[in-house]
Amino acid sequence: MHELGLMTGVVDAVCDAARNAGATRVYEVHLSIGEMTEAIPDALEFAFEVLRDQDPLLEGAQLFMKQVSPRSVCHACGQEFSHDRFHRTCPECGSLQTELIAGRDLTIDSIEAEVPDDEQSAVDEKA
């Protein structure tokens, strides 16, 4: 499985974003995982725990994963509908001509990080 590779990309993007914002610690990482991707949450969590130790910025950070259920649109009648992995037939008109519009992506939504207040740190430095 490729969860370690995916998580390496997540950790790199998270650390870049955190450093750009001047963060000194990341507490939380929030991901959305489409149920139609082949990425397994347990394996992502394991990969995160392994990679977390390699950057002090992420020490003790927690991973939060939100599952995104698949949604499709029917090309015959225009109906939008949620479904499971296996059944993409339109519940309205029974057409098989449907197109997936959500559920195949894996997104880094946001992080919760400690960003020192600039003014406060300036005062601290003087003192």
Q: Is 87 in the site for other proteins (CB under 8 A)?
A: yes
27 phi and psi angles, rounded to 5 deg: -95, -40
92 in contact with other proteins (CB under 8 A):
no
Count the residues in the chain. Answer: 127
Among positions 24, 67, 82, 110, the unique one binding other proteins when judged by CB under 8 A: 110
Q: Using CA atoms, how far apart are residues 32 and 65, in angstroms rounded to an integer?
A: 6
Beta-sheet pairing, 25-34 with 62-68: parallel
Pairing of strands 106-114, 25-34: antiparallel
Answer yes or no whether residue 93 interacts with other proteins by CB under 8 A. no
Told to check if 118 binds other proteins by CB under 8 A, we report no
Confirm or reject binding of residue 9 to other proteins (CB under 8 A): yes
Strand 71-74 versus strand 25-34 pairing type: unpaired
Q: Which two tokens stand for residue 114?
A: 């400690």
- Measured on CA atoms in the order 34, 35, 41, 44, is the torsion positive or negative? negative
Q: Indicate which single residue of 15, 36, 63, 74 sits in contact with other proteins (rule: CB under 8 A).
A: 36
Report the residue from 24, 38, 69, 91 that binds other proteins according to the rule CB under 8 A.
Answer: 38
Q: How far apart are the first and last CA of the chain?
A: 52
Tell me the window of 7-15, 49-57, 61-69, 118-126 that interacts with other proteins (CB under 8 A): 7-15
Candidates 37-45, 47-55, 61-69, 118-126; binding stretch for other proteins (CB under 8 A)? 37-45
Interface with other proteins by CB under 8 A: which residues? 1-2, 5-6, 9-10, 13-14, 17-18, 21, 23, 31, 36-39, 85-89, 96-97, 100, 104-115
